[in-house]
């Protein structure tokens, strides 16, 4: 029998469900960084998901204009086809070295071709070849099966992430009409 001061199990469950917000897999294991693209007034922002093991998943930010009407995705660039990038072993031999602003892929829409760029110093471990046959995943599952690339940033400075926006700062930036003076 419960004493009057102890809540019953049903009350505990209700109180817990009100207090506990169930986080998604990405929210639990990744830090969100938004790379803001301010050139020529475009809104071609990208989302960088950084794991504690220095693996970074690159995807499109929810405000990216390519998400409106994605037709195709291509990793075949003038610098070579990134699909052919073969990585093997514990030390990830064969990984292509990426610099900031290197183009990772092209997203072709009905009206425009968007160049998706890398924002980090690191090694390209994988590009998402599923996007070649299912480009709609960029829009429907951007933080899951619709990721663009995986980059290993270990051995590089984490100071490179200081230039990106956190989720809160990005939300404020977008709601303020993309103005940088957020005072």
Q: What secondary structure, in 3-state letters, does the chain show?
A: CCCCCCCCHHHHHHHHHHHCCCCCHHHHHEEEEEECCCHHHCCCCEEEEEECCCEEEEEECCCCHHHHCEEEEECEECCEEHHHCCCECCCCECCEEECCCCEEEEEEECCCEEEEECCCCEEEEEECCHHHHCCCHHHHCCCCCCCCEEEECCCCCHHHHCCCECHHHHHHHHHCCCCCCCC
Query: Can you give the pLDDT at residue 4?
Result: 53
Would you give per-residue pLDDT tens digits along the chain (183 residues)? Answer: 445 555 444 443 444 445 556 777 777 788 899 988 766 556 889 999 999 888 999 999 988 888 888 889 998 876 777 777 777 777 777 788 889 889 999 999 988 899 998 999 999 999 999 999 999 999 888 888 999 999 998 777 778 888 888 888 988 888 887 766 544
Residue 128's pLDDT is: 92
Confidence (pLDDT) at 56 = 92
pLDDT of 41 reads 58
């Amino acid at each position: 029998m419960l004493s009057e001061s102890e809540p019953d199990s049903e009350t505990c469950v209700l109180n817990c469900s009100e207090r506990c917000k169930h986080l998604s897999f990405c929210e639990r294991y990744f830090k969100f960084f938004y790379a803001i693209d301010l050139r020529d007034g475009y809104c071609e922002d990208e989302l960088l998901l950084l794991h504690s093991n220095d693996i970074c998943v690159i995807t499109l930010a929810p405000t990216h204009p390519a998400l409106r009407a994605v037709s195709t995705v291509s990793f075949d660039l003038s610098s070579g086809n990134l699909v052919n990038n073969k990585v093997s072993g514990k030390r990830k031999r064969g990984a292509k070295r990426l610099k900031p602003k290197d183009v990772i892929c092209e997203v072709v829409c009905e009206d425009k071709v968007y160049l998706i760029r890398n924002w980090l110093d690191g090694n390209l471990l994988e590009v998402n070849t599923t996007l070649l046959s299912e480009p709609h995943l960029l829009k429907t599952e951007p933080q899951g099966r619709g990721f663009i690339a995986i980059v290993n940033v270990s051995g590089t400075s984490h100071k490179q992430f200081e230039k990106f926006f956190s989720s809160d700062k990005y939300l404020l930036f977008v709601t303020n009409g993309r103005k940088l003076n957020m005072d």
